[in-house]
Structure 1
């Protein structure tokens, strides 16, 4: 009876997975189809029917979070004791246990990061690499190791894979060889070496292999489309020719090929195991029919009607996806923030909204737009823009240049050229580096700062470097959010495995998606799958957008992503009203102190309209009343107080005592959104 109860509530395909208690089994599970539910019920059913004991099961996945979720669900199903681990955790456990017996002596130290060792190896090779280049070389070494390419094989492997590392291929190969030499000399082991060594111990020591295979007789591997050759080698060593294996994956969500992952093991499972049972999970319980239809349309273009999994929506109908085209990226971000604010006002929790983009450098525009709209946000899978090392370094350089009087006394082009010159010292150039990786990400961040300078120069041709630095500092100060409650900003890669009620997919223009360095047909198709992953994160609300130009007033030469061809007629495409950028921006260039006349550059001083040292006419009673009101608003809306208004803005209001909407709007920090939301209440406190 207990076993039968485990099957209750499963749909026919999920039940087929659960009842297939002996392998080999291949589960092709589409997005939102309940794959975790299916495989945990399969394990629990096998345990309750006596097919296997919990201690004989090894469930392998790719993240500790996913492993923890598997263990939690299995406990609820009455199957505690199942080992659910990542590949690395399982390998480390086994290697640590058997090391004294098969090797002896001190075990190698596991290194968390390759950077220091790569730096030492580069130095030994006579190469001077910056931190960005070191990260890229470390990534290349990791790719080479998981794909089982030795240093001498690396150059040819790069050509076959059409990779374009930012460092010369011959230099990477030299550093790779020296890295391996130093690692052995210092008795160190990286994560790839740990998997390789565990597989070697099992292969070369029959008694160890016998003990491990006696311990684990029942294997389940989740996200099998993301397995790389090294992980597959270890899995084969665990199995030892046996076939009691269940794999679960979705070929339509293969988005990590650049790290060495290969969907070939999932797609070729029946060739390796001819008697395998194959079950397809296609009932989508996550998304509305409208979202599912678009997802099927995008992925269906890859193989016509032959794509592996076509989802079938199970939820009730919802709103159509919306396609928006904008004049420029600033307008796109502003309107996206406005739409997010509208959803929150309509009752959608901020934590159930996500804005997803292709590259992390795109986040700054959205961080700024959300902060200006008073929308709290959290950044996932990436550092905040102003916390990135290259951005912090650039701001320090710009601040130093401003103090040294490096500003050019010309029109708006002076600021642009000065900023670009300073950024060049941090590695910025007019042309981006080839390929992906840390070097490209660093360049994108610096390019975003250069673009900000162009934006400021367009708004105020008289603006100089001090004003630009003040603008950066104000933006950085405004971009804080509560740790949990807020709209999620994330790259499409970081969003995999997550879901939200509302999703905004932004920047869907040629050159960004597919990314410009996706050259081969295989690379382009992986970009398509990335868009598919983004679409299938949405439960109900979905908006897709692109901009015709990068900056306001720029040439509108962009076109929507090719992946949307033929699909936009299924929804309403419209051009929203142009957002007035002047109402969004706070920094307007030099502003004189209203007391002494000195130019104001500090953000706080510009908000107050005076030097901090100059005498003020602060209405202390009004200031206290404003702070009390702000605290109530923040508690009611469950947002930090500074998101309502900063202390400097409240102080400026208490000093000016505005008597009309127009006067209140002229106070820095009171933009159009905040004026609409809080203006009436503030003026009432001011006695209007």
Structure 2
């Protein structure tokens, strides 16, 4: 009589020989050696978060957990790669079946296996930003939307709008009201484009990066049997940077963690900085509510900064209304310079102080290349850049372009440069290209028209730009904007001179450029 046997794997504990107590501090060890079940690890800045997560993977493998039962989710491919390299150094096992990577990489992996269930084939293309813009422009054109009377949002802005809708779960109408009130009048048309864009992606067998999250979640929610297979496989979920997850990522984690809920998320509520792209800090704050039996671990020894910096950050963070209380401790010895809190009246006073302090430190023997000025966002560097430049202090920007190199600054400056130098072909063509329906060829034709009447050698240039420029042939789509541009240029000239610089800027912004920025830049505000 035939007999059936079920193969059982023997115990495989402690194969690495790692002395976890010796290699981890007490708080790290508590998190690493935690029992199965939901766990939240609040890891303060510089406390060894990556080390803790890496050793957690090694610890589970040491306890005999099958590598294929683990799912490690990170926010960058580099982080996933470095963690897995470190795990391989710690423990000699075949980890080829352990899934690790970014949310998008894991989503892509799931989607490739079951693409047919969401209307794609397994060979679907993943679009980058340029691909998205191209497809979006095609969709807008096919929707036959009249954009002549009012400026319709550009492809970049539309992509950002639809991305926020997908990643936050907020209705399009509510999102426009909250973040893009100047596009509320286009609500119906934007919704139409959104539906057409979704259909076009399926038609072209393409997916954007948001689809790599949205479609796998949709697939697992609608196919219980398939979802059950992944839930059965992934017995242990480990998630990095949980404070930066959005609604879709959080829902995907909770779905895959069922029913055993053996999920460990690591993060720091005090380091949540991506709300502008849909991240929701409430995901980490509400974790204990979502899993009432969750254990919360805190890792509070900072190995990166000196005590003076840690004390200052603790004092600042203590004012947060919603947070997990923690008190970072510095492992390093104290430094020679005490942090200073300097109240100032406005950004200009702040820039004056920073520039003055830089010069003082240089006089004290500290080289300029040993100093750094930190700010939260690049736009906050404007006044400091201006002040450093005016004082002749050389500097290098690492967060982006210098102020006067940024596209929108050069756009506005083009109007002023042309008004004061009517032979400036580069500036003339630059502001022409801002208008809808005007490309390089049309801009060249307009410049030639200006050469004939605007700066003729036989006569003085016209005192009013509109006197001659309104007669130039422009595409019908650009006619209204061209008229406004001509009248705006008129405002820059007063009598035989020019308006005040501040008045010139106001005229350009209010007359022409504000509408262009709203439609063209996703970070208009």
Corresponding residue SS for 1:439: coil
Q: 1:142 aligns with which of 153, 163, 167?
A: 163
Change (3 A) 1:132 1:393: farther
TM-superposed deviation, 1:34: 1.6
Corresponding residue SS for 1:302: coil
TM-superposed deviation, 1:247: 0.4
Change (3 A) 1:324 1:183: same
Name the structure 1 match of 2:456: none
Task: Check if 1:175 corresponds to 2:173.
Answer: no
- Contact 2:114 / 2:122 at 8 angstroms: preserved in 1? no
Task: Check if 1:43 corresponds to 2:57.
Answer: yes
Work out the CA distance in 2 between the residues paired with 1:333 and 1:177: 47
Work out the CA distance in 1 between the residues paired with 2:153 and 2:357: 36
Corresponding residue SS for 2:64: coil
TM-superposed deviation, 1:10: 1.4
Work out the CA distance in 2 between the residues paired with 1:373 and 1:77: 52
Name the structure 2 match of 1:126: 146
Work out the CA distance in 1 between the residues paired with 2:153 and 2:175: 23
Work out the CA distance in 2 between the residues paired with 1:350 and 1:69: 34
- Contact 2:71 / 2:236 at 8 angstroms: preserved in 1? yes
Change (3 A) 1:171 1:131: closer
Name the structure 2 match of 1:155: 173
| Richer in strand (by share) | 1
- Contact 1:252 / 1:308 at 8 angstroms: preserved in 2? no
- Contact 2:269 / 2:324 at 8 angstroms: preserved in 1? no
Q: 1:403-428 deviations in whole A, cap 9, x for unaligned?
A: 22776577895344344434555515
Change (3 A) 1:166 1:13: same
Q: 1:72-130 deviations in whole A, cap 9, x for unaligned?
A: 43344336655431111111122123325885647543332354455555553434676
Change (3 A) 1:235 1:174: farther
Q: 1:309 aligns with which of 306, 326, 333?
A: 326
Name the structure 2 match of 1:61: 74
Q: 2:84 aligns with which of 71, 85, 88?
A: 71
Q: 1:576-615 deviations in whole A, cap 9, x for unaligned?
A: xxxxxxxxxxxxxxxxxxxxxxxxxxxxxxxxxxxxxxxx
Work out the CA distance in 1 between the residues paired with 2:359 and 2:500: 37
Corresponding residue SS for 1:280: strand
- Contact 2:245 / 2:283 at 8 angstroms: preserved in 1? yes
- Contact 2:231 / 2:259 at 8 angstroms: preserved in 1? no
Name the structure 2 match of 1:646: none
Name the structure 2 match of 1:286: 304
Work out the CA distance in 1 between the residues paired with 2:504 and 2:377: 26
- Contact 2:58 / 2:91 at 8 angstroms: preserved in 1? yes
Work out the CA distance in 2 between the residues paired with 1:428 and 1:198: 39
Task: Check if 1:438 corresponds to 2:453.
Answer: no
TM-superposed deviation, 1:62: 1.9
Name the structure 2 match of 1:421: 507
Q: 1:93 aligns with which of 84, 103, 109?
A: 109
TM-superposed deviation, 1:224: 1.2
Change (3 A) 1:127 1:121: farther
Name the structure 2 match of 1:534: none
Corresponding residue SS for 1:310: coil
Task: Check if 1:109 corresponds to 2:125.
Answer: yes
Change (3 A) 1:223 1:38: same
Name the structure 1 match of 2:236: 218
Change (3 A) 1:360 1:279: same
Corresponding residue SS for 2:259: coil
- Contact 2:18 / 2:90 at 8 angstroms: preserved in 1? no
Name the structure 1 match of 2:435: none
Name the structure 1 match of 2:381: 363
Corresponding residue SS for 1:28: strand
TM-superposed deviation, 1:38: 1.1
Q: 1:377 aligns with which of 377, 396, 412?
A: 396
CA RMSD of aligned residues (A): 3.7
Corresponding residue SS for 2:40: strand
Corresponding residue SS for 2:327: coil
Q: 1:322-341 deviations in whole A, cap 9, x for unaligned?
A: 23355764564354245456
Task: Check if 1:9 corresponds to 2:23.
Answer: yes
Change (3 A) 1:229 1:102: closer
- Any stretches of 5+ residues in structure 2 without a counterpart? 1-13, 423-460, 462-491
Q: 1:609-641 deviations in whole A, cap 9, x for unaligned?
A: xxxxxxxxxxxxxxxxxxxxxxxxxxxxxxxxx
Change (3 A) 1:78 1:396: farther
Q: Greater shift after overlay, 22-31 or 209-218?
A: 209-218
Q: 1:235 aligns with which of 253, 272, 280?
A: 253
- Any stretches of 5+ residues in structure 1 without a counterpart? 441-688
- Contact 2:38 / 2:295 at 8 angstroms: preserved in 1? yes
Task: Check if 1:184 corresponds to 2:199.
Answer: yes
Corresponding residue SS for 2:341: strand
The correspondence of residues 428-467 of structure 1 with structure 2, limited to 5 A, is: 428=514, 438-440=523-525
TM-superposed deviation, 1:175: 0.6
Work out the CA distance in 1 between the residues paired with 2:52 and 2:507: 57
